Chain A
Amino acid sequence: MRISIKAKIVAAFGTVILLSAATAGIALNGLSDLNEKIEQLVSVSAQRINIARQMPTTVFLLQREEKNFLLSNSEEDMDRFDKGMLARREDFKGILEQYRRVADAEGNRKAAQIEALMTEFTSAQDKVRSIGRIHSNSKGAELLTGIGNDSVATAQEALRPLLDRAENGSQATAEQVAIAHLVRRMTTDWANARIIVRNSLLVPDDAATAAVLKPLPDLLKNISQQQDAIRGRLTADEDVRAFNSFIDRYRAYERITSDAVALALKNTEVKALALSVGEVRAAASKLSQAANELVADAEKGMAADKQAAEATYAQIRMITLSAVALALLVAIAAGAYIAISIARGLGKAVGLADAVAIGDLGRKVEVSSDDEIKDLVTALNSMTANLRATADVAEEISRGNLTVQARPLSDKDMLGMALETMLEKLRGVVTDALSASDNVAAGSQQLSASSEELSQGSTEQASAAEEASASMEEMAANIKQNAENATQTEKIARQSSKDAQASGEAVNKAVQAMQTIAEKISIVQEIARQTDLLALNAAVEAARAGEHGRGFAVVASEVRKLAERSQGAAAEISSLSAESTKIAQEAGQMLGRLVPDIRKTAELVEEISAACREQDIGAEQINQAIQQLDKVTQQNSSASEQMAATSEELSSMATQLQETISYFTVEEKAAVRGAIARTPSSQASPQPASQVAMARPAQASAARRHPAVITVPHKGSVKPNGRDRGVKIALEGGNGPDELDARYTAH
């Protein structure tokens, strides 16, 4: 049965979703239950507690109002607190009414009980209210501090003159001092009586008041005795008057004191307090106890409600958790199953694809499940089979069998189409290569022959070039000789030019020397002339001396003659030197003219020399060029020989290629080709081939003999060769090339 992956996944997810929905339903149900419980807890139990708790509080407030009532002194305060008490009572009643509304049967019973207790408490408190209002002690105290103190102060004021006179006055009589003493004692007792009365007001209970007031009557009697004693002693009128006024005032005080004592004996505060502490408190505590019981009951009820809510919560939690766990288990199990089944199938498919990727086409995969994975594996298996078929075709081709047929599986089968195309092309290529290798074999043989001839021609060219080179060398030697001679001549001419220049300078110097001589001679001439003049003067003197000067005259005449002679000689030298100067100058000028001529000659010779040198270099270059030519020719020769060898090799390679290509069988043509190859060889016979082959070496040898005639017959022979090529391919291809090879190798 086929269950697809989709169906599996849908089933698993559906189960999980259904379980989740069930869980959610259970949880919702539980939650609503819980909600009801909480509602009960909040709206009933909590309110009961709340209201019940207000009861004791109100009772306490009532008691506080009562105490405040008792403690207050003023009438207004009392009214205020009394009103407060009544208000609290109303509050309590209200609270009780509220409680009754939320209470159950037990609660109602308790409420009735509390109401009875409340009535009891109210009646007790009413007593306290009535007694508390009297406030006897406080009134007594008020009496004492108000009117009492005033009367005491006025009374004592009245006594002051009597006391002042004795205590402050400077001239007091003994009588007066005694009176003052008595007055002081009386006032001291009076102060004690006042203290007793005040204490009686402060003491709370009746017995204690009686005890305190016990000494009072004696003390009062004592005071009146003392008053009588004082009156007896008084003599002065003003003193009597003062004392009488004092007595009047004292009587007023006595009345007040008796009132105060009466009030003190009443002791209403204490009675009220006793009531409050005793009867009222008992009632209040009963009431509070009942209220507290009510609170405790309410709390108990609330605890029970809370427990119920908790139990419900635990139950819901339990159910929800187990439902979730179940859903989780189902989901995990289904997921694991689906994942494992897909992973296993895909793993197998991947293994197959990997094998194909590395070229292993021999694998096949089986899958147990029946789903999409199985489809994938089946498709992969068929792909592998197709590839294997294609690989078989390729293998056949690799064995050289080109007769196999490659059919593409579809018009999109790239590999198949490529294989088909490849096969076709390969067939074409092999065929073409075969024919081309045949052509190459023939062509290379012809090339070999031609290069042989080329080699011959270039050898002759080389010998001609050598001869030319020899002649050129001779010529170069002559030119070099010329150049050297010209250089020598140039040097000589240069030297001559220099010498001529030096001669010119020498002549110039000679001219100068002669001019110097002429100058010197002119000096000599001048001296001679002067001497002549002197001699004349001497002669004149001698003549004037007459007879005595005769001897002197002779001397003078002799001197004069000498002078004249030296003058003459000097003149002669002068003229001679002038003449020789002139000649020397001429010689100098001639030399001067000579120098540029010689220089010019030197330059010309130099040019000749340079030309000769250039000629020499040119000749050398020509010589080198010829030698180069010679070398190139020789290289050509060797190259053409090498070419012959290479073409030989090429021919053998072509044969090898033919053999190699014959590996491929191209349809039935393999047989046909062999026939064709053989037929031309038998038809045309090896004769023409050998003739052609023979003719070429013959021509080559002829060319070797007559180098001048090389060009024409060579060209003629090339063209027929070219035409032959097309025909010859098949001929030589069939026959073994060994024969021809052997011949070429021989050459």
Chain B
Amino acid sequence: MAVTDTRSFEALTLGLGGEIFAIDANSVHEILDVVPQTEVPGAPPLVGRLINVRGKVVPLADLRIRFGMDCTPPTIDTRIVVVEILLDDEPTVVGLLADKVHEVTSIAGASIEDTPDIGMRWNPDLIKGIGKRGDDFIVIPDIVRIFTTH
């Protein structure tokens, strides 16, 4: 997959199954503590539950299922990151479950590399790229694709 944008951007880093992911800070609405969740029978496991965000019903997605990670029970650091994405050119608000939210940081476009074809644990289609920050790798997921591809 090619890197479409080489510019540096403000990203929210968060931990998922031991890996660090980065989401464009501009798409983030807010970060919430874990709130009561309602399971939706018959829904796909990715968005099997609903939450109430300031009076709006928002589907809650667990990205660890998409990336085939273990589903550990929520800890004290578990957070819900509410993002707004364009699905079929329609802004949609979705809650993402995160093991931990690290910080808002700017990621230089130069540091972002293409996803290696081999040696990857996850489906490369779902990743925009991998940035580096210090010694750590930061995975930049393609949120839209995650929700659109099945």
Contacts and interface: CB of A to CB of B under 8 A. Distances in A.
Asked if chains A and B come from one complex, the reply is yes
Interface of A: 529, 533, 536-537, 539-540, 542-544, 546, 553, 556-557, 560
22 contacts: A529-B76, A533-B31, A533-B32, A533-B33, A533-B79, A536-B12, A536-B31, A536-B101, A537-B30, A537-B31, A539-B25, A539-B103, A540-B25, A542-B104, A543-B25, A543-B28, A543-B104, A544-B10, A544-B25, A544-B28, A553-B104, A560-B103
A544 B79 CA distance: 19
Nearest to B76: A529
A546 B7 CA distance: 14
B53 to A, nearest CB: 13
B33 A540 contact: no
A543 B103 contact: no
B10 A543 contact: yes
A258 B71 CA distance: 209
A535 to B, nearest CB: 9
B26 A557 contact: no
Contact of A543 (B12, B32, B79, B101): B12
A663 B25 CA distance: 162
Nearest to A536: B31
A146 B150 CA distance: 202
A471 to B, nearest CB: 84
Nearest to A525: B76
If over half of B's interface residues share one DSSP class (helix, strand or loop), that class is named, otherwise mixed; here it is: strand
Interface in B82-122: 101, 103-104
A557 to B, nearest CB: 7
Interface of B: 10, 12, 25-26, 28, 30-33, 76, 79, 101, 103-104
Nearest to B26: A544
B104 to A, nearest CB: 4
Contact of B103 (A529, A533, A536): A536
A536 B104 contact: yes
Contacts of B30: 537, 540
A563 B80 CA distance: 19
Contacts of A557: 103-104
Nearest to A540: B28
Contact of B104 (A529, A533, A539, A546): A539
A543 B26 contact: yes
A565 to B, nearest CB: 15
Contacts of B28: 540, 543-544
Contacts of A537: 30-31
Q: What 6 A-B pairs have minimum CB-CB distances, sorted nearest first? A: A543-B25, A543-B10, A539-B104, A543-B104, A540-B28, A536-B31
A560 B103 CA distance: 9
Given A533-B33, A540-B25, A546-B10, 10 more contacts: A529-B76, A536-B104, A540-B30, A540-B31, A540-B104, A543-B28, A544-B26, A553-B104, A557-B103, A557-B104
A214 B109 CA distance: 234
Nearest to A542: B104
Nearest to A534: B31
A700 to B, nearest CB: 113
Nearest to A544: B26
Contacts of B25: 539-540, 543-544
Contacts of A546: 10
B123 to A, nearest CB: 27
Q: Which of B10, B101, B104 has the most CB of A within 10 A?
A: B104
Contacts of B26: 543-544
B111 to A, nearest CB: 17
Contacts of B76: 529
Nearest to B32: A533
Contacts of B10: 543-544, 546
A543 B28 CA distance: 10
A574 to B, nearest CB: 12
Contacts of B12: 536, 540, 543
A745 B146 CA distance: 146
Nearest to A560: B103
Q: Which of A539, A546, A556, A557 has the most CB of B within 10 A?
A: A539
Nearest to B81: A540
A536 B104 CA distance: 7
Nearest to B30: A537
Nearest to B24: A543
Contacts of A543: 10, 12, 25-26, 28, 104
Contacts of A540: 12, 25, 28, 30-31, 104
Contacts of A542: 104
A736 to B, nearest CB: 134
B108 to A, nearest CB: 15
Contacts of B31: 533, 536-537, 540
A542 B106 CA distance: 12
B113 to A, nearest CB: 23
A536 to B, nearest CB: 5
B93 to A, nearest CB: 14
A542 B76 CA distance: 25
Contacts of B33: 533
B6 to A, nearest CB: 18
Contacts of A533: 31-33, 79
A543 B103 CA distance: 11
Contacts of A536: 12, 31, 101, 103-104
Q: Which of B12, B25, B26 has the most CB of A within 10 A?
A: B25
A457 to B, nearest CB: 104
Q: Which of B26, B31, B79, B101 has the most CB of A within 10 A?
A: B31
